[in-house]
A and B are shown apart, each in its own frame.
Chain A
């Protein structure tokens, strides 16, 4: 009979690494989403081009390859990252590229008449964005941001390839040591699902808050 409590502890340690990666990766992704998404809407062609290159590159290559570059190739350029740093960097940049298109789409969805009202009221470019456009665009972004965050959570499993002891990595360890596949993988299945549910619930709460008072304005 196997004593599962120790092995469960291993998996829970891995769960912490997964949560850490998800939170930090999402934070970086959020920053990148706004930087690149607003960058694509810039009136300066060079900024638009830079943002487009970033988005197309990180959407167009696999997270797997990006992670290997961050961890194994960057050291040749003199940049050595810890596995956690490499993982957060790759996940954040990858998911941020998708998020950037969400930001751009939501900002573009705010009607021309809102921009014209801003001009008529003589608001500056930054004031328009900060006080009128983004507060209306944010509720439009949140559902897709929720999708992206869950994708990122599930994407964290690839970091086991650079020896980061995340939840999937620990499940493999437990499987190797006990010879039992069902228990560790059933456990992480439930844990991944619980984490995804937590993200969904959080996003729903945010959505309710951000769209308060906008009821009846849009469907």
Chain B
């Protein structure tokens, strides 16, 4: 059996007096599609942000693809990672944000080619060729020269997905990528993600309130509450037969709020 690509070991994260993650451990297998669900403030987005090195951890260890994320070996001991180590580790991970975070001063094509050219030294011509392939995949080939401000939310998010893919990460993090979209634009983004899941063996972690999509997309669903994993299992088990009362309550509320399961 293959070893996990992400190994989270007993991590804690606090903001002042507030404990967001409390001794959390979990493993993710290579190629696995994981959905993280739960009420807001349950720590699910924090996990993605920690994996992307946007937040530091206060305790514990994370292993990515066989290497420590926040620690590095030095003279036989593990010491806190420096910026250079983090930069090397970030090559393995990509992230798509709730609010797209495109660069407003660059056209769609330049948004995508910037990082490969700067961080991997890819030549402009091949970076652009790759960007066009990716734009084609997300159905945005005709918008390569558009500015982000000229795009709809769904289009922006599809460009953001292409931008993250351009660095060929092994792990992709999707942080509520449809939450900021008008309802009629949600589907075009979800379609891109379905395609991505079908066509690649990338490991994907998805924080979402789209329960129907999580059900179809994920191999495994984790239900979070108060910084802990309350329940985990196959989508059918979590959504059809949740065992924990907190999971049941959460799903009832979500359905009452008009989300499909």
Contacts and interface: CB of A to CB of B under 8 A. Distances in A.
B90 A119 contact: yes
B87 A116 contact: no
Interface in B86-103: 87, 90-91, 93-95, 97, 99, 101-103
Nearest to B93: A120
Contacts, number: 70
A181 interface: no
Given A122-B115, A123-B119, A117 B105 contact: no
Interface in A94-114: 113-114
Given A119-B54, A120-B95, A127 B118 contact: yes
Given A213-B147, A215-B149, A123 B107 contact: no
A55 to B, nearest CB: 28
Interface in A129-185: 131-132, 135-136
A79 interface: no
A122 B90 contact: yes
Interface in A172-219: 213-217
Contacts of B93: 120
A60 interface: no
Contacts of A216: 149-150
Nearest to A211: B105
A127 B103 CA distance: 13
Nearest to B119: A122
Contacts of B149: 213-217
Contacts of A131: 114, 118
A117 B114 CA distance: 12
A119 B52 contact: yes
A214 B105 contact: yes
- A117, A119, A135, A217: residue with the most chain B Cβ atoms closer than 10 Å: A117
B107 to A, nearest CB: 7
B87 A117 contact: no
A65 interface: no
A121 to B, nearest CB: 4
Contacts of B164: 120-121
Contact of A121 (B104, B107, B114, B148): B114
A6 interface: no
B54 A123 contact: no
B101 A117 contact: yes
B163 interface: yes
Interface residues of A, number: 21
B50 to A, nearest CB: 12
Contacts of B115: 121-123
A125 to B, nearest CB: 8
Nearest to A127: B118
Contacts of B101: 113-114, 116-117, 120
Nearest to B89: A122
- A113, A127, A213, A217: residue with the most chain B Cβ atoms closer than 10 Å: A213
B103 A117 contact: yes
Interface in B159-190: 163-164, 167
A198 B227 CA distance: 60
Nearest to B102: A117
A23 B103 CA distance: 33
A121 B105 contact: no
Given A132-B103, A136-B104, A119 B97 contact: no
Nearest to B110: A131
Given A121-B163, A213-B149, 15 more contacts: A113-B101, A116-B54, A116-B101, A117-B102, A119-B90, A120-B52, A120-B90, A120-B94, A121-B167, A123-B118, A132-B103, A136-B103, A213-B147, A214-B104, A214-B147
Interface of A: 113-114, 116-117, 119-125, 127, 131-132, 135-136, 213-217
Interface of B: 52-54, 83, 87, 90-91, 93-95, 97, 99, 101-105, 107, 114-115, 118-119, 147-150, 163-164, 167
28 contacts: A113-B99, A114-B103, A117-B97, A117-B101, A117-B102, A119-B52, A119-B53, A119-B54, A120-B54, A120-B90, A120-B101, A120-B164, A121-B114, A121-B163, A121-B167, A122-B87, A122-B90, A122-B91, A122-B115, A123-B115, A127-B118, A127-B119, A131-B114, A136-B103, A136-B104, A213-B147, A213-B149, A214-B147
